[in-house]
Amino acid sequence: MRLHGHAYFNLLSFLLSVPYWSENCYKQFLEHFPYPVTLIAEPNEKVPSAVRNGFKNIFAVCPDQYIYDLVGEAPFPIAATSASYFGASKATTVELGLRFFDGQVSYAVDGGKSKYGGSGTLIDLTVEQPAMLTYGPVSYHDVIKIVPDLKLPSHMRK
């Protein structure tokens, strides 16, 4: 994912206002990106209101190198949502996503069938201590190496 030729890694600092985001943590995260983890964060003042769409927080994700390269070819920034409605099954192909939204989508990035199936790993950086909210293809044990004080809420502990 790129913004006018800037790498995704720079995009994180361009978009996100994360007081937690220490230089060391940031560098470690960048070594792993693209990475199938979604970050919830407050957008900084550079994020246009059209991207915020009235919401307080934004999600940042780039699941793999293919999507990174594909979106990086766009001559404009891309802001997108997941291809599902809250509580509904997740779209794992572009065709299914377009069917879900029945003509409401102007453009779709076809990255092929999802490698990871439904939900992804979701990390909330808007709270005092970063928290993993959902399990996905990247485990808590993998993420804690990058975000050492990552919290695993009690409902997710086994």
For residue 133, give the H/E element and its range: strand 131-134
pLDDT at 8: 47
- With cut-offs at 50, 70 and 90, classify the pLDDT of residue 6: very low
Residue spans of the domains in the chain: they are: 8-156
Phi, psi of 14, rounded to the nearest 5 degrees: -70, -40
pLDDT at 9: 46
Domain 8-156: give its CATH superfamily: DHBP synthase (3.90.870.10)
